[in-house]
Amino acid sequence: DVQLVESGGGLVQPGGSLRLSCAASGFVFSSYSMYWVRQAPGKGLVWVSHISADGSATEYADSVKGRFTISRDNAKNTVFLQLNSLRVEDTAVYYCTKGSDSWGQGTLVTVSS
């Protein structure tokens, strides 16, 4: 079975940084694009970033471009999301997903002073 396990969320002050990780298992990780999606409290789903299977191509939502960086380590079956210059409006549960067919349990990022 596909498993995606996110970690790294927490409480951070505005302007701070966090690094989210998503450990994958149950499929050939190096063959699939991976995505991060976030959901602010009580709100809907928003795509944040995408990385191609080999890591050569990345995409970002305009709201995070220049502040977030997606990367992956295919040897460790893990995808990362580096969050810099965090804003209050970045507060959300961040989900790792394998192209919408499998989702992790999410990790909560709270940006507050």
The Cα 17–Cα 85 span in angstroms is 6
Instruction: Calculate the CA 8 to chain-centre distance.
Output: 10
Q: Does 2 bind another protein (CB under 8 A)?
A: no
List of residues 6+ apart from 16 with CB closer than 8 A: 86, 111
Selected from 9, 20, 34, 50, the binder of another protein by CB under 8 A is 50
Backbone phi and psi for residue 107, each to the nearest 5 degrees, phi listed first: -135, 135
Q: Does 47 bind another protein (CB under 8 A)?
A: yes
Q: Does 106 bind another protein (CB under 8 A)?
A: yes
Nearest distance, CB of residue 66 and another protein, angstroms: 15
Chain positions contacting another protein, by CB under 8 A: 35, 44-47, 50, 59, 61-62, 95, 99-101, 103-106
